[in-house]
């Protein structure tokens, strides 16, 4: 079991036209075209006059090679066209000047592209580091609780969206949180960072589980007060495991219910939820705490509404309980991976952030 935040979304990888390294077939186009044209001209008993195709080789080299290699291709092309020993065609002066101009221009474009790619790599590295600082990968275990998470942000080219989760150990036991901020994408990252910071503090100094949720609610209200008509809210699910891992206490602020995986079946744990965070109704409708006794082999599955509210082409919701039962016997890493693959097959398109968290309390020592 292990890390949670991937460096690239599996359903939205960088395309080579969007700055990623070009595929291999693009890189081999210049040498292949060079060999094909030369081989055809030399092998033919009669002139076929296709040497003009060599003129596009420097332009193709721009897509995947640096300025030095591009310049080398340009020199080779010109040499093949004008050196008598290699002459494959009989270009006129105008045609030859055109090819030389294209080759020189290709070198310049290759230099610009190489510098742009270097800048793009730097920007992406900094952006990924910043996003991973907001939502770092989970450790394999926290205290007596094994952890496995999966996060897929809805917005392309991002690692973090409007969902968040974390698992922390503290003086009152191991506590976990999963939440969903209104909206998704980079606009929600600041709110996610603020809520996670509040959770980290409350793990250390709040004895009651509802007080942890209250701290998150206050943080969101304070942040919303800075913006007129912010209408900012979030849902959250907070859990607390005992030091032995034999019980778990949980409370919900409008978040989808967790599931208990036991004996190869998935059971939805009904909670009496309170109001979502940030709406100012926390004291009027506080969340209730439920305690569940755990048995050896039990696991808890927490998911965002990006899973439960996904639909297929007919409008039917994703049958999460049924799919969890299907994958319940698998390891946490296989469970999250197969559930994600199954969700992609089921839905026309996944348009919301998708978050999964599998928590495995180690209670084996309680028997015997």
220 close to 276: Cβ distance less than 8 angstroms: no
In order, the DSSP letters of 97-153 are: HHHHHHHHHHHHHHHHHHHHHHHHHHHHHHHHHHHHHHSPPPPSEETTEEEEEEEE-
Vertex 199 angle, CA 2 and 290, to 5°: 85
Q: Pick the most confident of 117-126, 130-139, 197-206.
A: 197-206
Q: Pick the most confident of 22-36, 127-141, 258-272.
A: 258-272
What integer is the mean pLDDT of 247-255?
A: 95
Q: What is the pLDDT at residue 25?
A: 83
Compute the distance between CA of residue 299 and CA of residue 141 in angstroms, rounded to an integer.
13
Q: What is the pLDDT at residue 153?
A: 78
CA distances from 13 to 39, 98, 184, 227, 306 (A): 38, 38, 18, 34, 19
Q: What is the pLDDT at residue 157?
A: 62
The tens digit of pLDDT for each residue in 55-87 reads: 888 988 998 899 999 999 999 888 887 776 655
171 close to 140: Cβ distance less than 8 angstroms: no
91 phi and psi angles, rounded to 5 deg = -70, 145
User: Six-digit token pair at 59?
Assistant: 């332009």
328 close to 264: Cβ distance less than 8 angstroms: yes
**pTM of this structure:** 0.71
CA 302 to chain centre: 18
Q: What is the pLDDT at residue 8?
A: 38
Judged against a pLDDT cut of 50, whether residue 6 lies above it is answered with no
Nearest to 174 by CA among 144, 148, 147: 144
The tens digit of pLDDT for each residue in 135-145 reads: 778 899 999 99
């Amino acid at each position: 079991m292990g890390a949670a935040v991937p460096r690239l979304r599996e359903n939205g990888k960088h395309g080579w036209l969007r700055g990623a390294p070009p595929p291999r077939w693009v890189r081999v186009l210049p040498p292949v075209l060079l060999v094909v044209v030369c081989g055809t001209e030399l092998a033919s008993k009669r002139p076929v006059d296709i040497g003009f195709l060599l003129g596009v080789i420097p332009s193709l080299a721009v897509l995947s090679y640096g300025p030095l290699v591009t310049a080398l291709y340009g020199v080779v092309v010109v040499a093949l066209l004008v050196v008598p020993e290699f002459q494959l065609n009989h270009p006129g002066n105008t045609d030859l000047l055109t090819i030389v101009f294209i080759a020189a221009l290709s070198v310049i474009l290759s230099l610009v592209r190489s510098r742009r790619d270097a800048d793009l790599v730097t920007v992406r590295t900094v952006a990924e580091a910043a996003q991973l600082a907001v939502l770092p990968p989970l450790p394999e275990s926290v205290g007596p609780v094994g952890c496995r998470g999966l996060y897929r942000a809805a917005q392309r080219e991002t690692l973090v969206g409007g969902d968040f989760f974390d698992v922390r150990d503290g003086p009152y036991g191991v506590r976990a949180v999963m939440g969903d901020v209104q909206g998704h994408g980079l606009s929600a990252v600041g709110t996610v960072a603020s809520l996670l910071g509040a959770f980290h503090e409350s793990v250390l100094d709040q004895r009651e589980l509802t007080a942890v949720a209250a701290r998150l609610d206050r943080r969101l209200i304070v942040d919303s007060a800075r913006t007129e008509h912010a209408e900012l809210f979030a849902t959250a699910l907070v859990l607390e495991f005992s030091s032995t891992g034999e019980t778990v206490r949980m409370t919900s602020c409008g978040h989808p219910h967790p599931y208990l995986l036991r004996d190869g079946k998935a059971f939805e744990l009904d909670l009496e939820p309170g109001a979502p965070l940030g709406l100012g109704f926390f004291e009027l409708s506080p969340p209730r705490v439920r305690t569940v006794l755990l048995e050896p082999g039990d696991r808890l599955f927490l998911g965002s509404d990006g899973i439960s509210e996904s639909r297929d082409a007919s409008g039917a919701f994703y049958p999460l309980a049924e799919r969890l039962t299907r994958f319940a016997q698998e390891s946490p890493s296989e469970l999250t991976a197969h559930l994600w693959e199954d969700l992609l097959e089921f839905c026309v398109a996944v348009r919301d952030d998708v978050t999964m968290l599998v928590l495995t309390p180690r209670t084996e020592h309680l028997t015997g």
